Amino acid sequence: MNRVIEISSGTILRTIFILLLLWFLYLVRDILILVFLSLIIVSAIDPIVDWFQKRKIPRSLTVLVVYVLFLSIFILAILFLVPPLTTEIRGLGENFPSLVEKLSGYFRIVRDYAISHNLQQNITNFTANIAERISQAGSSIFSGTISFIGGIFEFVVILSIAFYMSVQEAGIKKFFSSLFPKEHREYVAGLTERIQFKMGRWLQGQMFLMFLVFALDYLGLLVIKAPYALILALVAGVLEIIPYIGPVISAIIATAISFLHGPVTGLLVLGLFILVQQLEGYVLTPLVMKKAVGLNPVVVILALMIGAKLGGVMGIIVAVPIATVAGEIVNDLVLRPEVSEGK
């Protein structure tokens, strides 16, 4: 018996509309990332603002004070870090030729070993790729400067959007609730509140972990008397925002640079970074981020890969909070379908 499947014109139009909407969202993904980052910032500072508002302090004044306070801390940190950081960068630049010479010595050892094992062609190709990348480095300086200026502009845009959203009480919850019919608004408001709580906790926890990793690595590198301690610790702190992958990259960079100043220093730095990573992975992260994220490591890594593919560096930064939001929505729909359907 043949079955005839009928698809109404309304269903076709809705499908086309959804596809066009998804295509449009993909085209403006860079703008959406900026808005999403603003939402994360608002979610992080809202509890502070709400606490002061309950004590009869005007919301707009509280938001302004919070912004001025955090920007002041940020500027003071830059003023404090720039002089020693400049000294280390200058020293790294002056010692760069000798570092390259030492690195070339290691490459010669690897090359001789490779030739003896009939791997000369692979070494030749590898060397050619390195030379090509070095030749492209100069041309990327200008584009890097333009990207830096664009990054400052995006930072200002994010803070501006976050400021105006913070001034309005429960602005995010009211906005998303207004997009749905009345019978679903209570559910959407509750879901938005839970998502906002998780995003705020994620940012607060992430900033705390980044600072703690920076401080631990910096103190450890100073004790070891490793070269370029401030640069290496800053890299470790910044890359902490990328779960699992970031700490590994920072450890490789720090170990490679330290090994060029001696195998003992390199081994000590490697041991330090492994120790800090174990402390961060098994003690700090579970304590700080348990309630905020609660995602499977495989899901996190997949989210990072998708974020890198779709949005580059910015995509990597927002990958985990977006995955957290998606997980909260899916979990809510699966565990509480009767509520999500408005029953």
Give tens-digit pLDDT for 17-56.
888 888 888 888 888 888 888 888 888 888 888 888 888 8
- Asked if residue 45 and residue 178 are part of one domain, the reply reads no
What pLDDT sits at residue 131? 46
Q: Which residue has the tokens 């309304």?
A: 10
Res 26: pLDDT = 80
* Mean of pLDDT values over 156-174: 83
In this structure, the answer to whether residues 188 and 308 fall within a common structural domain is yes
In whole angstroms, what is the distance from residue 241 CA to residue 212 CA? 12
Look at the chain and report how many structural domains it folds into. Answer: 2
Mean pLDDT of 84-104: 71
Write the single-letter amino acid at 12: I
Kindly state whether residue 282 falls inside one of the protein's structural domains.
Answer: yes
Given a cut of 50, is residue 138 above it in pLDDT? no
Do both 119 and 198 map to the same domain?
Answer: no
Q: Model confidence over 305-316: pLDDT tens digits?
A: 888 888 787 788
* pLDDT the model gives residue 5: 61
How much is the average pLDDT of 62-91?
85
- Do residues 162 and 263 share a domain? no
Average pLDDT over residues 73-82: 86
Residue 209 makes CB contacts below 8 A (sequence gap 6+) with 240, 280, 284, 285, 288, 289
**Domain shared by 153 and 183, yes or no:** no
